[in-house]
Structure 1
Amino acid sequence: MGVLADSAIREMIDNGAIRATVPVIDAQVQPASLDLRLGNRAWRVRASFLTGDQRTVHDRLSEFEMHQIDLTDGAVLEKGCVYVVPLMESLDLPDDVQAVANAKSSTGRLDLLTRTITDGGTEFDRIPSGYTGPLYAEICPRSFSVLVRPGMRLNQIRFRRGQAVLTDKELTQLHLNSPLVDGPAVIDQGLGFSVDLIPAKGDLVGYRAKPHTGVIDLDRIGAYDPAEYWEPIHTKDGRIILDPGAFYILVSREAVHIPPDFAAEMAPYLAMVGEFRVHYAGFFDPGFGHANAGGEGSRGVLEVRCHEAPFVLEHGQVVGRLVYERMECQPDRIYGADLKSNYQGQGLKLSKHFKA
């Protein structure tokens, strides 16, 4: 019982539980997840939608389609628009395996809302056990227009058998055996984490997306000047005011550790603490920030969007929680050990598309 590791994912590829129109490459297989690739075309749709029971995405596209876009030579997905893109991967899940999807870290840090939808689906990003059929990405660029091509990997999928989530009692014991944060652990339906607005050096605490910017080519790594896309946020009193509709990159006060035989998912905190969302990309792989993988704890980058009203965010305020899950077995490779891991040991950091 638990989250399936990379070895089990490869077995699923070999036995046809995971299928693809173009063969899956090794770089897609992560320690506890599989990267999903965009197909060759996109539909611009009038609104986000779920298919609903007994209905297919193809059927619903005929209701909401505005036009189709060929992605073969690259195409721009415009800020504020909603697109549906068939993925190269499809599933034929066993009856005892379910799946959950999420945006990749670099996707979330660009405020690129990316969710997975399926035939007969009544929830985003949740695929029931035994599902057989195609996968689609719903993409809505919120802050920046982006250039995409077939094969780009914007979201990822995890597979589970049975109940994998640790109870608070189990999580407390895990923290005693292998500290999960570099300070006191606040455990309540997961491991709580707070925002850092009093940095050890200087007064830079985050970034706010600028409203009118150029297109970002998602294949260009380290190519863009942050000053053209982001406004730095400074504070000397440990507080900032979030503006409704604005998107921020902040960082957690805690340095997080994920032991090699566990995985974690970032979940938003209770709505009653403030009108803001704290993440788009929420998977933490086994080994993230762990000493055995070359890390000494890694901060959680917070992708924050304020909703209805201006909101004062203060240093140390709890803004989210990490839900820890057991791995079915330890992965062959863990995050940061021998993988090209962009965010191991991270602090406040923009996506990999921007110059350091």
Structure 2
Amino acid sequence: RERLALPPSVRGRCNPKSTTGRLDVFTRVITDATPRFDEVAAGYRGALYLEVSPQSFPVRVQAGHSLNQLRLVSGASLLSDAELVELYRTGPLLYDDDDRPVPIERATFNEGLCMGIDLSGRKTGGIIGFRAHPNPPAVDLSRVDHYDAGEFWEPIKRPGRDSYILEANRFYILVSKERIRVPPGFAAEMVVYDAGAGEIRTHYAGFFDPGFGYGDGGVLGTKVVMEVRAREVPFLVYDGQISFKVLFERLADRPGRLYGVGLGSSYQNQTLTLSKQFRRG
């Protein structure tokens, strides 16, 4: 429904919303005369088109429902590893499950802040993730706290060893080992750790808003939910294995409202959390 009229110095980048990704709905933004998906050229004027392809669940959508989001960028906003280290020194960006900051000596920086996968089930009653049922009913995206998760998802119990084999072409919801904070004045994006490390996709949705895992300063990090699919062949993952990294970008100005502070944000204190259509607890 929206159209863009960007200034010559402003470009855009698109990403599925968290709820879209957790339902395994593949979306891509397309613009005229742009060779790449999910990118909007600087100065673009025109319509936005959205490709929508549900992978695991039939979905019902209504006109006006938002499946994707747009981030506007001007200039060089991405932090280098050296700048990211300095930001970490001003205040930890990662915490563990005991509310302790991860020491900077234990953090891994590799063109972004690296994060691992949690197979311990320590804070989730021994459940390490969920696997989508092969023939589930449809999900109405307008429903909130409505569906019984058991009709759509199979909980995965903690394995006897610190590893787990992902079945080929099955969709999983897993969670990060660490909890991350995005301070005011910054935004972040989850990206693939190493495209050559194996046939596995770890996420659809990747944007973290300013204040994610931070709030008004009293939140000691939030887990990152991973939308995982092993393609073509089974894939072995280990507890703590680095599976993705997070890029940080500097904002032009500190936002007046932060994620999770008076906004009704759905996933501020999440652990292993399904999309908001499913009943919790």
Q: Contact 1:294/1:336 (CA < 8 Å) preserved in 2?
A: no
Residue in 1 that maps onto 2:121: 199
Residue in 1 that maps onto 2:86: 173
Residue in 1 that maps onto 2:151: 228
Q: Cα 1:298–1:160, aligned 2, differ >3 Å: closer, same or farther?
A: same
TM-score (norm 1): 0.74
Q: Pairwise mapping of residues 1-356 of structure 1 onto structure 2 (< 5 A)?
A: 88-182=1-95, 183=102, 184-201=106-123, 202-234=125-157, 235-290=159-214, 292=216, 294-356=218-280
- How far apart are 1:215 and its partner, in Å? 0.7
Distance across 2 between alignment mates of 1:224 and 1:236: 31
Distance across 2 between alignment mates of 1:111 and 1:128: 27
- When Rg is computed on C-alpha atoms for both structures, the one with the higher figure is 1
Helix, strand or coil: the match of 2:216? helix
The amino acid of 2:23's aligned partner reads L
TM-score (norm 2): 0.94
Q: Contact 1:293/1:336 (CA < 8 Å) preserved in 2?
A: no
Distance across 1 between alignment mates of 2:2 and 2:145: 28
The amino acid of 1:185's aligned partner reads A
Distance across 1 between alignment mates of 2:141 and 2:94: 32
Please, which moves more after superposition, 259-268 or 233-242? 233-242
Residue in 2 that maps onto 1:58: none
Helix, strand or coil: the match of 1:153? coil
Helix, strand or coil: the match of 2:183? coil
- How far apart are 1:291 and its partner, in Å? 5.0
Cα deviation 1:279-321 (Å, max 9, x = unaligned): 1000000000015255221000000011121111110000000
Distance across 1 between alignment mates of 2:57 and 2:29: 20
The amino acid of 1:121's aligned partner reads T
The amino acid of 1:317's aligned partner reads Q
Q: Contact 2:216/2:258 (CA < 8 Å) preserved in 1?
A: no
Identity %: 46
Distance across 2 between alignment mates of 1:199 and 1:346: 14
Q: Cα 1:159–1:291, aligned 2, differ >3 Å: closer, same or farther?
A: closer
Distance across 2 between alignment mates of 1:132 and 1:351: 33
C-alpha root-mean-square deviation of aligned residues, in Å? 1.0
Distance across 1 between alignment mates of 2:244 and 2:182: 16
Distance across 1 between alignment mates of 2:276 and 2:167: 25
* Structure 1, unaligned runs of 5 or more: 1-87
Q: Contact 1:197/1:238 (CA < 8 Å) preserved in 2?
A: yes
Helix, strand or coil: the match of 1:175? helix
Q: Contact 2:215/2:260 (CA < 8 Å) preserved in 1?
A: no
Helix, strand or coil: the match of 1:169? helix
The aligned length equals 269
Q: Contact 2:189/2:246 (CA < 8 Å) preserved in 1?
A: yes
Residue in 1 that maps onto 2:99: none
Q: Contact 2:24/2:171 (CA < 8 Å) preserved in 1?
A: yes
